[in-house]
Amino acid sequence: MDVSERLVARRAHLAPFCRVDPVKQHLRLQSYYQLARQLYRQSETYFAEGAWDNAYVFLAKFIKLCSKVITAHHDYELPRYRKEREWVRAQAAEGFKLFDAILDGMEAEELEYLEYERSLNQEKQQQSTALATEQANMSALEARLQAMRLAKKNAEQPKEQAAGAANKEDMRTLNQPAEVRPRLNLALKPRQKERSNTVSYPTVGKASWMTADATQPSHTHYYAPPLSRQRSQEAIANLTSGKIRTLEIPSGIIAQFTLLASPNTNRPPYGIETCGILAGILVSLSCNYKLKLP
């Protein structure tokens, strides 16, 4: 598949996570607007992290919520929600720009991963070609060794035949009378010396360099996939696992909350305590906070 086909398949895989529930008229419209703001902020945060899948899902849910759910609420046209309606209209233009940027990031990621897969396949083909070449070389070498053994065996056959004839002559000599036997001993000595020079060579086996690879385990090294793709896979795993999720939020959110609460905090005579609900645990980082969501 090319990049466009991979992108279509990826969006189809994410489509089930982009569903939103139909409008419930007994819920306040303000709660839907609050959910819309939350979804948009989460999409922006995941976009900043490069987690394209999560950013895509949350922004798609935001678009569907604003276009299909909020507009179907019976309180949508009430004057008290005028500012919220204006915010949705203004945010829609920014949302579509963000959506295009997310798609560009996903496309660049798919292109990067496609190149990685091609390089991986090329590396595997090179390794298989090298292995086939090595096996062919070993087969050719074994054929040469077999030919050498056969030539050596053919060269030794006349000597073995001569040795067999000499043994037969020795047997005839032993069967002759005693007065004839001493005269033949002189002629037998050189032949016995010639037979003693015949050496039985051992069978030629494979060289050590040919068998070294067979005993040692092979370690195949492949390059790691692109980091952006791994991050995106972790993001989609967060959507499907149902386990604790991690979300990075700007470090200035605490200062913003303190600023918003300052009118109550400084109200005389003792101030009013302002409560903020945080559905998770904040872990301090260098430039932002990490929120662990249940």
pLDDT in tens, 249-286: 666 777 777 888 888 888 887 777 777 666 666 666 55
DSSP string, the chain: --HHHHHHHHHHHHGGGG--PPP-TTS-HHHHHHHHHHHHHHHHHHHHHT-HHHHHHHHHHHHHIIIIIGGGSTTTT-GGGHHHHHHHHHHHHHHHHHHHHHHHHHHHHHHHHHHHHHHHHHHHHHHHHHHHHHHHHHHHHHHHHHHHHHHHHHHHHHHHHHHHHHHHHHHHHHHS-TTTHHHHHHHHHHHHHHHHT---PPPP---HHHHHHHHSPP----PPPPHHHHHHHHHHHHHHH-S-EEEEEETTHHHHHHHHHHHHHT-TTT--------SSEEEE-SSEEEEEE-
Least confident of 60-69, 208-217, 223-232: 208-217
- Name the pTM for this structure: 0.51
Pairing of strands 245-250, 288-293: antiparallel
For the chain, give every domain's residue range: 244-294
pLDDT in tens, 96-136: 899 999 999 988 888 888 888 878 777 777 777 777 778 77
pLDDT in tens, 213-224: 544 545 455 556
Integer CA distances (angstroms), 281 to 61, 92, 291, in order: 25, 31, 5
CA-to-CA distance for 48 and 258, rounded, in angstroms?
24
**pLDDT of amino acid 113:** 82
Return the ∠ at Cα 207 (arms to 202 and 210), rounded to 5°.
145
pLDDT in tens, 81-94: 899 999 988 888 88
189-193-196-198 Cα dihedral, nearest 10 degrees: -130
178 phi and psi angles, rounded to 5 deg: -65, -30
CA-to-CA distance for 278 and 224, rounded, in angstroms?
37
Sheet with 245-250, side-by-side order of all strands:
245-250, 288-293, 281-284
- Count the neighbouring beta carbons within 10 Å of the beta carbon of residue 129: 10
Q: Look at residue 36 and tell me whether its pLDDT is greater than 50.
A: yes
Least confident of 28-37, 120-129, 138-147: 120-129
Q: Look at residue 43 and tell me whether its pLDDT is greater than 60.
A: yes
Name 25's Cβ contacts closer than 8 Å, sequence gap at least 6: 73, 74
Q: Look at residue 53 and tell me whether its pLDDT is greater than 80.
A: yes
Q: Look at residue 166 and tell me whether its pLDDT is greater than 90.
A: no
